[in-house]
């Protein structure tokens, strides 16, 4: 067993290990648990979030044991990197891995649970969400700041940014689902636009984001919008084509 712990005097390591050992028989399920399973636990007055990653296939069992870091390990490492850069993410606590003779068997990432006011998804699905334009513009500035620090959040999708209201017109942003990230010395324009193209299918939202990104970066708003909208449309086409193909292949489900 591999266990790495973020020293936290309020939550003893042995309590965390015990929660992981009893993960299948305790805790409250959070989300649908279709791929990875997340459960919430109450520990000394704090709500703890434990993510159990899907058991990998044979190739990945070997890869995650000998050739690359597991998703749990990367989540823990990247959370700490984000905090070092000054970006929000739920406070990391620990990660744990169990191995068998072949390789990685199961793995867990532990963090404090953050109760958000909304996610970016609400902005996509509810056009008249209160303070919509302001939140979207602040989110765009947050994304630009990530890019300036060379942070490529590869799962920059609608459900993976938690948003909390900090004051009457200010919002804080917290990234979750962190195991797919890269850190660069700098990010070229095309890569930065690609990083934003999965967020919304709505042209008007892309237009607002392009306007705010141009204000932050000093780059051409027209170029940003045309590039980002093309990448967004291409992504949406591939996404829906993939769904149609899966529906035909698995018609009985």
Kindly report the backbone phi and psi dihedral angles of residue 199, in degrees, each rounded to the nearest multiple of 5, phi listed first: -80, -40
pLDDT bucket at 6, cuts 50 / 70 / 90:
confident
Query: pLDDT band at 111, cuts 50/70/90?
Result: very high
Q: What is the pTM of this model?
A: 0.90
Q: Of 11-15, 88-92, 151-155, 175-179, where does mean pLDDT reach its minimum?
A: 11-15
Q: Which two tokens stand for residue 188?
A: 């070229």
Residue located via tokens 């058991």: 55
Query: Can you give the pLDDT at residue 185?
Result: 96
Residue 21: closest CA among 111, 106, 113: 106
The share of the chain scoring above pLDDT 90, in percent, equals 74
Q: How confident is the model at residue 199 (pLDDT cuts 50, 70, 90)?
A: very high
Residue 114 clears pLDDT 60, i.e. is over it: yes
Q: Is the pLDDT confidence value at 253 over 90? A: no
pLDDT of residue 205: 98
- Taking alpha carbons only, the member of 183, 193, 182, 190 closest to residue 143 is 193
Tell which residue, 184, 192, 183, 182, has the closest CA to residue 217. Answer: 192
The contacts of residue 9 (CB under 8 Å, 6+ apart) are none
Query: CB within 8 A of 16, min separation 6: which ones?
Result: 5, 43, 48, 93, 94, 110
Mean pLDDT (the chain) is 91
Range 207-211, long-range pairs (CB < 8 A, 24+ positions): 208/133, 208/136, 208/137, 208/140, 209/136, 209/137, 209/139, 209/140
Q: How confident is the model at residue 9 (pLDDT cuts 50, 70, 90)?
A: low
CB 183 within 8 A of CB 150: yes
- 239 CB contacts (<8 Å, ≥6 apart)? none
Residue 247 is predicted with a pLDDT of 63
Contacts 24+ apart (CB under 8 A), 176-179: 176/89, 176/90, 178/74, 178/75, 178/78, 178/79, 178/82, 178/89, 178/153, 179/71, 179/72, 179/74, 179/75, 179/78, 179/155
Residue with tokens 């291409």: 234
């Amino acid at each position: 067993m591999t266990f790495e712990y973020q020293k936290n005097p309020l939550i003893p390591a042995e309590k965390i290990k015990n929660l992981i050992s009893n993960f299948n028989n305790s805790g409250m399920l959070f989300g649908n648990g279709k791929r990875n399973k997340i459960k919430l636990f109450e520990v000394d007055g704090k709500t703890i979030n434990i993510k159990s990653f899907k058991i990998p296939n044979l190739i990945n069992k070997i890869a995650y044991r000998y050739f690359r870091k597991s998703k749990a390990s990367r989540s823990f490492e990247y959370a700490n990197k984000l905090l070092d850069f000054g970006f929000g993410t739920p406070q990391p606590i620990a990660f744990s891995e169990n191995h068998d003779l072949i390789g990685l068997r199961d793995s867990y990432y532990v963090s404090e649970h953050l109760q958000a006011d909304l996610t970016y998804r609400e902005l996509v699905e509810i056009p008249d969400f209160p303070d919509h334009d302001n939140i979207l513009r602040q989110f765009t500035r947050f994304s630009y700041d990530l890019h300036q620090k060379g942070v490529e959040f590869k799962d920059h999708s609608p459900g993976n940014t938690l948003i909390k209201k900090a004051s009457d017109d200010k919002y804080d942003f917290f990234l979750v689902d962190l195991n797919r990230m890269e850190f660069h010395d700098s990010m070229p324009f095309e890569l930065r636009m690609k990083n934003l193209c999965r967020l919304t299918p709505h042209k008007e939202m892309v237009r607002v984001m392009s306007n705010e990104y141009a204000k932050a970066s000093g780059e051409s708003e027209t170029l940003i919008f045309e590039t980002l909208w093309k990448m967004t449309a291409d992504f949406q086409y591939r996404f829906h084509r993939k769904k149609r193909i899966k529906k035909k292949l698995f018609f009985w489900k």
